[in-house]
Structure 1
Amino acid sequence: MRSDQLSEVFELVEVRGQMTGAFEVYGPWRSQHEIGDPLKLIAMVHGHGRLLADGLDTPIELGPGEVAILNGRSWLRIEGGTGDGPVCEFLPGPGYNSYGHDDADGPPDVVVGGHIEVNHVGRTLLAQALPPVGHVRAAEASALHRNLRLLAEEAGAGRVGSAFAIRQYAQLLVLELLRAYVDQADLPPGWLRVMTDERLSPALTLMHGEPGRPWSLEELARAAAMSRTSFAERFRTLAGGAAADVPRPVADAAGAAGPARRRRTRRVAGRRAGLRVGERVQHRVQARGGHVAPALPLPRPPGGRAPPRRGTRLNTPDRPHAAIP
């Protein structure tokens, strides 16, 4: 993206691209189905198609290398193909599938379907940043179209390791897709527009360094080499919020993801040490000179209370009222 801050937020909200299926189809065709994913992707690899979804008055024309992002839509219909033969109607299945008549004139249309997975913070942020239906255009030689072709080829070849390769290509597809969207779209006010603004970038760098700190307007304006009034007005225009809410779009994401990141770090450290959760608690208490039963968590005695949880006080020689950390 255009700034390290944007890349950091994408990592914090755990953006993941998933390919749900791909198909090639010969001759005239049509497919209509419900959408179960909040952020659905439909990409045209080869050929042309017309896409309609709830909220659209007229179809979107998709050409080679172009992608439609469906944000919170409930259904879609896509059709394409040429010729005078009967229209092939189908419901795409998982994997790579072929439909229509092989003897139809011309090469097949190739379409890839997928979705973007994010955590609950990411769902809120992307729902605000993206329109109900976004149309990302790409030239033949663009990185987006090149990645689409590689993804479709890998899905259709079925080679050893294809599942791993598809996951990597799908991840890169989301990156290139959002890069293209930021470059092409007239972004609405919101966090995405703020993070792609070069003048506000130094202030965002400051906030990302200490997301929990209550930054003042004066400090942020100084970092951006702007007056407080100019900074507040620019942020209000780009973010669609008051100057008092300057830190919220970035700090909220970082603050929500911070505890999750620390929990993941602790779990990884525990796995490397070969310790279960209960054993880690026991290890910490014993390191302080305390004594606990060798097996944790402790079993519930018949008719008794539950075993001690986090915060339960245990007696240790140096800390008579120590609590399990």
Structure 2
Amino acid sequence: MVGDQLSEVFDLVEVRGLLSGGFAIRGPWVSRAAVDISLKFIAVVCGRARLVTDGIDGIDGPIELAAGDVAILNGRSWLELRGGTGDGPPREVTPEENDPATRLVGIDWDTDDVILGGHVDLNPAGRALLLQALPPVAHIRTAANLRGTLHRLFEEVSTDRIGSAFAIRQYGQLLLLEVLRAYVEQTPLPSGWLRALTDDRLRPALTLMHTEPGRPWRLDELAQAATMSRTSFAERFRTVAGMPPLTYLNHWRMLLAQRALRDGDVRVGSLAADLGYASESAFSTAFKREVGESPLRYRHRLRAESGHLDAVRGNGSQVTRPLR
């Protein structure tokens, strides 16, 4: 199933949607900010907003965001949001300002604009996969599940209920999942792993590679599973996934290896055998070529970084700023 494979990829690359700020306001307004993260998302809970960012301004912009819409900015350096109606100059607003007019209390759902912002947290493997799978700006238009998740997230953010920090983290995850589901349904996908996971013709071959990654798969075996000729299968796979089948298999093995080294104490030799390498040396060479460092160095570095992140995150809350 595509959903199961997508879930597996999410687990492997530790994709997390994290809420970081937001505001509610009525009347003309503008919000400008520098973007210093790879993947940032803007969600419109109610009202409307017009988004401009580098790469879409001028003839291609602005992007009109309606209630329930989400925009994901991929590798952008700045953004500007505008909204509201009425006389007078627009008010400058940021998610962090302590202005009573922007607090999420006494919201008028007919007149107010409510904006939530956040980012997608990724490990290096996830960054390589998701940045490649998304365009510079992905505009996801309102869908029933997406709107419902947005409203539940807003409810947790705007009330001081017990367990709200935990709920916000979970809804942030669900929001990202619903965004990607809607994106897959609404938009022609570029070549890459996300498009490959949704391709019905390739699904049987992908399932084999995902479930038995240590088997020495041959191109003709994978083509037979997809009920295609060897040539047709190879051409379609390269077009859809952006790489040959056996290159994809190697990338998949390296993702599995990174998870095993990150989360467990498996011996490198045993891991090499499980993933189909003839020797520990062959596996280590492939891993270093893909990841940039040896398996043992990778494990030691990530464990050192994990201890630092645990200290930074403290209580585990993912909301870095309270919403005003």
Verify same fold: TM over 0.5: yes
| Structure 1 residues 33 and 55: alpha-carbon distance in aligned structure 2, compared to 1, 3 A threshold | same
SS at match of 1:252: helix
What per-residue deviation string (whole Å, max 9, x for no partner) do you get for residues 280-308 of structure 1?
xxxxxxxxxxxxxxxxxxxxxxxxxxxxx
| Structure 1 residues 151 and 16: alpha-carbon distance in aligned structure 2, compared to 1, 3 A threshold | same
Q: Equivalent of 2:189, from 162, 187, 190?
A: 187
**2:117 alignment counterpart:** 113
**1:19 alignment counterpart:** 19
Q: How many residues align?
A: 261
What aligned pairs does 1:172-251 form with structure 2 within 5 A after superposition?
A: 172-251=174-253
How far residue 253 of structure 1 moved from its aligned partner, in angstroms, is: 2.3
| Structure 1 residues 155 and 219: alpha-carbon distance in aligned structure 2, compared to 1, 3 A threshold | same
Residue identity over aligned pairs, in percent, reads 55
SS at match of 2:44: strand
The structure whose RCO (Cα within 8 Å, separation 6+) is larger is 2
| Separation in 1, partners of 2:97, 2:257 | 37
| Structure 1 residues 125 and 198: alpha-carbon distance in aligned structure 2, compared to 1, 3 A threshold | same
Using structure 1 for the length normalisation, give the TM-score: 0.74
Q: Which has the larger radius of gyration?
A: 1
SS at match of 2:220: helix
What per-residue deviation string (whole Å, max 9, x for no partner) do you get for residues 161-193 of structure 1?
111111111111011011001111110011111
1:136 and 2:140 are equivalent in the alignment? yes
How far residue 16 of structure 1 moved from its aligned partner, in angstroms, is: 0.8
Using structure 2 for the length normalisation, give the TM-score: 0.75
| Separation in 2, partners of 1:96, 1:201 | 52
1:89 and 2:92 are equivalent in the alignment? yes
Q: CA RMSD in A?
A: 2.5
1:124 and 2:128 are equivalent in the alignment? yes
| Structure 1 residues 225 and 92: alpha-carbon distance in aligned structure 2, compared to 1, 3 A threshold | same
> Unaligned regions of 5+ residues in structure 2, if any?
267-324
Alignment check: 8 A CA contact 2:47 2:67 kept: yes
**1:80 alignment counterpart:** 83
| Separation in 1, partners of 2:13, 2:253 | 12
Q: Equivalent of 1:99, from 98, 102, 124?
A: 102
How far residue 243 of structure 1 moved from its aligned partner, in angstroms, is: 4.9
Alignment check: 8 A CA contact 2:204 2:225 kept: yes
Amino acid across the alignment from 1:129 = A
1:165 and 2:167 are equivalent in the alignment? yes
Alignment check: 8 A CA contact 2:24 2:107 kept: no
| Structure 1 residues 144 and 95: alpha-carbon distance in aligned structure 2, compared to 1, 3 A threshold | farther
| Separation in 1, partners of 2:129, 2:228 | 27
How far residue 118 of structure 1 moved from its aligned partner, in angstroms, is: 1.3
Moved more, 206-215 or 61-70: 206-215
What aligned pairs does 1:22-101 form with structure 2 within 5 A after superposition?
A: 22-57=22-57, 58-93=61-96, 98-99=101-102
Amino acid across the alignment from 2:90 = V
Amino acid across the alignment from 2:127 = R
| Structure 1 residues 16 and 96: alpha-carbon distance in aligned structure 2, compared to 1, 3 A threshold | farther
**2:7 alignment counterpart:** 7
Alignment check: 8 A CA contact 1:21 1:94 kept: no
Amino acid across the alignment from 1:73 = R
Moved more, 253-262 or 174-183: 253-262
What per-residue deviation string (whole Å, max 9, x for no partner) do you get for residues 211-256 of structure 1?
2444210121122222212211110110222455242443332233
| Separation in 1, partners of 2:97, 2:9 | 31
**1:259 alignment counterpart:** 261
Greater helix percent: which structure?
2
